[in-house]
Each structure stands twice: as C-alpha cells, then as structure tokens.
Chains A and B, each alone.
Chain A
Amino acid sequence: MPFVEAIRLALQQIWVQKLKSFFTLLGVMIGVTFLIAVVSIVGGMSRYMTDQVVGKIMAVNSFELRHRPNINLGEMTEERWRELRRRPRIKESDIQPVTDALPPDVRWAAVGNDNLSAQSRYVAKPRQVNAFTVTDGYFDVKKMAPVSGRLFSPQEYERGMPVIVIGQDVANYFFPALDPVGRELVVRGIPYTVVGVMEKQGSAFGISFDKFIVAPHKSPINRYVNAHNVIDAIMIQTASREGLLSTMETVRQVMRARHHLRPSQKDDFELETSDSALEFWNKIKSYLVFAGVALPAIGLVVGAIVIMNIMLVAVAERTREIGIRKSLGARRRDIMSQFLVESATLSTVGAALGVATGFAFAKLIAAVTPLPAAVELWSVLVGIGIGAGVGIVAGVYPASRASRLDPITALRAE
C-alpha cells in the first residue's frame, strides 16, 4: 500500500475517534512537552550565560591572566579557598615579560578594577561605581566604542591624566539631563574630566553592566583601585580561536618561570577564558539536560505502552477489516505497515502537539520568570522523531499480530 495512502488512512482513523486518540497520545504529548520545554529553557539559559553574562565580562578569543578567577559560578571548597588566598598578585613588573613573549598579532591590556564611591556637583548623593584603570589596548580588546565624546589620547595614557570615560548608568545618574562630556566626576576628592560616554552594555540577572568608569592606568585613580605595583589582570586577545591555546601556554610558561614554580607544582595564577568561566554552568546544564531527557523518557515509555495497548485493541476491533483486506490481496507486510503507520502517525501527532505545548510552556516560563527560553530547531526535530519512533516501537507487536491473522478466522470475527 502506498505510504501516503497509509498516512491518509491513519489520520482518518484518528479523526474518527478524536477523543480516544487524544487520550492515547497524551503520554507522548506530555513527554515531548517536557522535552521541548526543558531544552528550550536550558538552551535559553545557556545562550544567556554565554552571550549576556560571560560574553559581557570576557571578550571573544581572549583570556585573562589573574591571580584568582574573576567569575566564580561554582561552589568552592575550603581547601580551594586557602590555595587561592596563598597566591601572589600579578604585578606591574609582570606586564613587560608577559607581553614581550606574545606573538605580534595579539592584543592586550592591563586592567585594574574596584568599586569606588563617586560624586558629582549635579546630584547630592554619592554612589558606587565600578572603576577600571586600563592600558591603551583595552577598548580594542573589549570592542567598546563611545556614543559621545572620545577615547583617551596617547598623551593621556602616557601622563596618567585625570580623565575618564563612563557607562550609561553613570552618565544618567550623575549628569541628569546633561551632556556629561567635559564635566567632572569626583572620586576620592580628585576631579576627573569625562571625555566620553560609552555605548550601552546591557545587564544580566538584573545586574547592570553600565555602572562603570574607565581611566588610564597611570591616572591617580589607580592608587585606589590597586595596591602599589599590583594589577588585577592582563587581558589578552588572539586573532583567532586557534591561536588562543598556544598563546595561553606561552603566557603560562612565562608566569611559571617568574614565580619559580617546579614542574610538580600547580599554577599559582589563573588563565581565565570564557570557557573556564562557563565550566560551572556547563555542569549545571548537563544535570538539567539529563533531567530534561529522563523526565520525558518516562512520559514516552508510558505513552508507548498506552499506544501499544490501544493498537492491540484496534487490531482486535478491526479483525474483520483485516480479514477483508487480506481476502482482497493484502500481504502481511501491507497489514503490518498499515498498523505501523497508524501507530506512528498517532504518536507523531502526539509529538507535534507536545512540541506546540512545550513551546507554549517555555514561553510562559520565560514570561513569568526571569529565565529566558530559546526555541531550538533540533529539539523540534528530535521531538517529532522520537514521536514517530515511539509509535513504531509501540506498533510493532500489534501490527505483527494483525499481519499474522489467518484470513478466514479474521473474516469470521464479529
């Protein structure tokens, strides 16, 4: 029997018994709903973590040399804490040897960072800002550009002038309804002239990335950001993803030599990439994906049993029909494929409904919670594929029973 014919027949069969069919495919539908919902939410969170959280903190193809990891998304053992606390800081004197060892097409910047209180004459209350002191590669690596004003000139970097560029939140708070460029912001009693306002960086988990000010590394503010001669990080960016690992290795060797580490000793510094920052998230993700697969699996098994049961009933109810078809020349495989297609169609319809409700569910969760949801095409295909697969697996036994019926016995059935 032609395939299209068989599907048409199956759909007709489903349509004739709408309510019964619906209950039959409920199990598969719920299973796929869970699958789609979990995959969408995990996928959405994953994209959020990668793009919005870590992507905002870390530049592409870059790593940071730090004494301790900056992004800590995981739990920490007592032992690890102690090890981290023993680590020496990265020094200004490390900059030269490290950057000298880098290949020529690699960009870098030294960065210091701390929260400091700032004040302007336009607003009464002082406020905390995230203050960065950077060398001249910084804006290049971060791909940050001003929306008004300018970045620092070479002389301003060289002489450590009291100039800053500021984020959108800082501009809005300290300079309400004013153009901040050319005006002053006071940090620890020293006024800094705003030369530029940077483009909006956005937020993650409700935490804004626009509460920053950036000053040249040599500017007076550095004194309050870091202790003498100490820096927080050297940010290093390679031209391509391939160059990243070898460059990290180069930097590692330089730092190990500078810290006089023996081969048996572990690194006492951190080379942090967006991947390492995402490590903890990936661990959570694998649990979530496991749950996202295990839960639907239960639904699908139940769905398969129900479908098998219903198909057995269908075969019993339609024994006469099978007899008629056989008397007219249907071979075993014709009857087999008729019932297989029917159960596969049934469960694929269930899966399709499950995909729809799964998305609705994911969107609902995205709407009422801060969790985002991303529609994953593969999960749709997998969901539908699983639906068809469950139907086929569940249909094999009933279909083969039907196909083996003796024509005369089947015709006599009532």
Chain B
Amino acid sequence: MSQDIVHDSLEAPLGSTAERQAVVGAAGAAPGQDWVIVTRGIKREYDMGGEVVRALRGVDVAIRRNEYVAIMGPSGSGKSTLMNVIGCLDTPNAGEYWLNGTQVSKMSDDALARVRNKEIGFVFQTFNLLPRASALHNVELPLVYAGVPGEERRRRAKEALERVQLGGRIDHRPNELSGGQRQRVAIARALVNNPSILLADEPTGNLDSATSEEIMKVFESLADQGQTVIMVTHEPDIAAHARRVIVLRDGMVHSDERRSTFVEKLGLPA
C-alpha cells in the first residue's frame, strides 16, 4: 500500500476543531483498527507554585498506521509535551489517549513501561545515549528490558545498527561518534524492538543542515518501509519531508493538513 493511497483515504483537511472531533470519535469509544493514535481533549497542566501553566489545552489528534507526521508550532506551544504524552513518558491531566485500540490513560506503571518498550521508539534532540556504553549496548537496551536472550539481543542490535549504516561502529562509545552518528545510534535503538510508532522530538535540532538531511533520509526510508513516524520540528524544510503536518499553538491544534497543502502555502518545492 503506498503512502498516497493512505492519504487519499484521510478525511483531510482536518483544519477545524469540529472536523477533527468527528474523526477522533466520541469519548470512551474505542477507535477503529487502523488508527494507531487517537487523543481526545488531552490536557496537561503544570502547577508552578500557584500559577498554572497549561501546556496542552485539549488536543484532538488521530493518526493512522504508516503515516509520517510532522508536528510544528512556536516555542512553548506544547509540542514536546504532546510527544511525551504520546510516548507514554508523561500522563495527561484530562482527556483520553488510545494507542493501538487500548486506552493508555488507564494503564498501570508497569503496563506503561511495557508500552514504552514494545510500542514506542523515541528519538530525542539530545540523543540520550548512555555515555559509558558502546553503540551496540545502547541499542541492546530495549531488548534487555524486553527479556530477549543475550545472543539474539546482540544479533538484532547489530542488524538495527546496520540499517542505519553504523555496522562498522558498534563498539564505539557515544563520545567517539559524530552528532549524526549518535542520532543514528538513537534511531537504531528506537527501532530495534519493532515499535508501532517512531517518535522524534526535534531529531535534527542539534545537528548541522548536512547531517540533518542525512537523518531525514533515514526517516524517509523508514516511512517508505511502512514505519509510522511522528516528528517534532521547528524547521519547515524538515517538516516538508513529512506527509502530514500538525501545527500546535498555545496548547491546541492550530491546523492539521496534508503536506501538499502545507507545501503550497509555504511556497516550497513539492
């Protein structure tokens, strides 16, 4: 199934709140099978000593399997907060979050850890590799927590590193790798347990433009292979790699459009 067919079947554009709510469905109802992610009215507030910071103020998002989505928006608009909620690293104060047909907001601590381990691959702006561990060991970690035996673990970690062209660097520590290579180790780690979604919060934020392109190629080819990818970025040319762009503003979805529309608006080459 090609990406275009998926997108054609989307009830796009999802520009208005009413339209989005129609797609995400009524509260409490389990979404259909091909929806990987459905959030309904997600709120996340921080109590800063009396003053309440409202990072997310009711976010409705629905993402299908195999989609490649970019999340944009000004600084402080709640992009990272939303990613953390989607990645089960953070729990919302209100709203529903359905992942693969299961309601995450009702899960126990251990169940959440299991979801992070099996369903989610997270790529961070700052890589978040263990500094004293080799590339191979870093990539092995999710498999360690999945209880995969040592031999198979190493084999699969090696394969994942080969997929990001780092087969020759498996014994290097993070500080013996370039920024781009570090991020590729992080991508290999995110993918090693075959997650249903790959989340990336400004994966190129710490990289120069050439290296950023390199990383974007990796994402592109993953998306082409059918991997669901959600990526936060500031940069329009990075977002242009995605097939769909969600823009947040003040903790709410400002717009949610297919790339073609988005690219047109920005006047970027298609």
Q: Interface residues of B: mostly helix, strand, loop or mixed?
A: helix
Minimum CB distance partner of A13 in chain B: B132
Q: Is A331 touching B110 in the complex (CB atoms < 8 A)?
A: yes
Q: For residue B132, which residues in chain A have a CB less than 8 angstroms away from its CB?
A: 12, 16
Asked whether any CB of chain A lies closer than 8 Å to the CB of B41, the reply is no
- With contacts A321-B130, A408-B89, A408-B90 known, is A327 near B116, CB below 8 A? yes
In the complex, which residues of chain A have a beta carbon less than 8 angstroms from the beta carbon of B110?
331-333
Please tell me if the beta carbons of B128 and A327 are within 8 angstroms of each other in the complex: yes
A325 to B130 alpha-carbon distance, docked (Å) = 9
Q: Are B128 and A411 in contact (CB under 8 A)?
A: yes
Q: How far is the CB of B24 from chain A (nearest CB, A)?
A: 24
Once the chains are docked, how many angstroms separate the CA of A320 from the CA of B131?
Answer: 11
Q: Does A326 sit at the interface, judged by CB under 8 A? A: yes
Task: Tell me the smallest distance from the CB of B132 to a CB of chain A, in Å.
Answer: 7
Shortest distance between the CB of A345 and any CB in chain B (Å): 17
Tell me which residues across on chain A come within 8 A of B118, comparing CB atoms.
329
Nearest residue (CB) in A for B149 is A2
Q: Is B268 an interface residue (CB 8 A)?
A: no
Q: Give Cα A331–Cα B88 distance, bound, in whole angstroms.
A: 13
- List chain B residues, Cβ under 8 A from A323: 128
B233 at the interface (CB under 8 A from A): no
Kindly state the separation between the CA atoms of A331 and B144 in the bound complex, as whole angstroms. Answer: 12
Distance A331 CA – B124 CA, assembled complex (angstroms): 20
B194 to chain A, nearest CB (A): 13
Verify B109–A331 contact, CB threshold 8 A: yes
Which residues of the other chain, A, contact B145 by a CB distance below 8 angstroms?
A: 1, 325, 328-331, 334
- Cβ of B180 under 8 Å from chain A: no
Q: List 15 A-B contacts (CB under 8 A).
A: A1-B145, A5-B144, A320-B128, A324-B141, A325-B145, A327-B116, A328-B117, A328-B145, A328-B189, A330-B145, A331-B109, A332-B113, A407-B89, A407-B116, A411-B128
Q: How many residues of A contact B (CB 8 A)?
A: 22
**Structural contact, A325 and B141, CB atoms closer than 8 A:** yes
Measured CB to CB, the nearest residue on chain B to A320 is B128
Residues on the B chain within 8 Å of A320, using CB: 128
Q: In whole angstroms, what is the CA distance A364 to B83 when docked?
A: 65
Contact partner, B89, options A5, A321, A325, A411, Cβ 8 Å = A411
Q: Contact residue range for chain B?
A: 20 to 34
Given the interface contacts A408-B89, A408-B90, does A329 sit within 8 Å of B109 by beta carbon? no
B130 touches A331 (CB 8 A): no
Cβ–Cβ < 8 Å partners of A321 in chain B: 130
Complex CA–CA separation, A381 to B109 (angstroms)? 38
| Contact call A328/B142, Cβ cutoff below 8 A | yes
Tell whether B114 is near chain A: CB-to-CB under 8 Å: yes
- The chain B residues found within 8 Å of chain A, CB to CB, are 84, 87, 89-90, 109-110, 113-114, 116-118, 122, 124, 128-130, 132, 141-142, 144-146, 150, 189, 193
Residues of the A chain whose Cβ atoms lie less than 8 Å from the Cβ of B142? 328-329
Name the interface residues of A1-40: CB closer than 8 Å to any CB of B. 1-2, 5, 12, 16
Task: Enumerate chain B residues within 8 angstroms of A411, measured Cβ to Cβ.
Answer: 89, 124, 128
Assess whether B146 is in contact with A329, with CB atoms less than 8 Å apart: yes
A330 contacts which of B87, B113, B124 (Cβ < 8 Å)?
B113
Provided the pairs A5-B144, A321-B130, A327-B128 are in contact, do residues A332 and B109 lie with their beta carbons within 8 angstroms?
Answer: yes
A329, B128: Cα distance in complex, Å: 14
* Interchain CA distance A411-B126 in the complex, whole Å: 10
Chain B nearest CB from A22 CB (Å) reads 19
With A5-B144, A324-B128 known as contacts, the answer to whether A329 contacts B90 (CB < 8 A) is no
The 4 lowest CB-CB distance pairs between A and B, nearest first, are A329-B117, A329-B145, A331-B113, A407-B89
B130–A327 touching, CB < 8 Å: no
The interface residues of chain B lying within 8 Å CB-to-CB of A326 are 89, 113, 116
From A1, A2, A5, A324, contact of B130 by CB (8 A):
A324
Residues from chain A with Cβ under 8 Å of B114 in the complex: 329, 331
> A1 contacts B144, CB within 8 Å?
yes
Interface residues of A in 285-304 (CB under 8 A from B): none
For A329, the chain B residues whose CB sits under 8 A away are 113-114, 116-118, 142, 145-146, 193
Further 14 A-B residue pairs, CB within 8 A, beyond A331-B145, A407-B90: A1-B144, A5-B150, A323-B128, A324-B130, A325-B141, A325-B145, A326-B116, A328-B117, A328-B122, A328-B142, A329-B113, A329-B114, A329-B146, A407-B116
A57 to B236, CA, bound (A): 99
**Beta-carbon nearest neighbor of B88 in chain A:** A407
Question: Of all chain B residues, which has the CB nearest A4?
Answer: B150
Decide if A328 touches B141 in the complex (CB within 8 Å): yes
A62 shortest CB reach to chain B, Å? 62
Q: How far is the CA of A314 from the CA of B144 in the complex (A)?
A: 22
CA distance A261 to B144 in the complex (A): 81
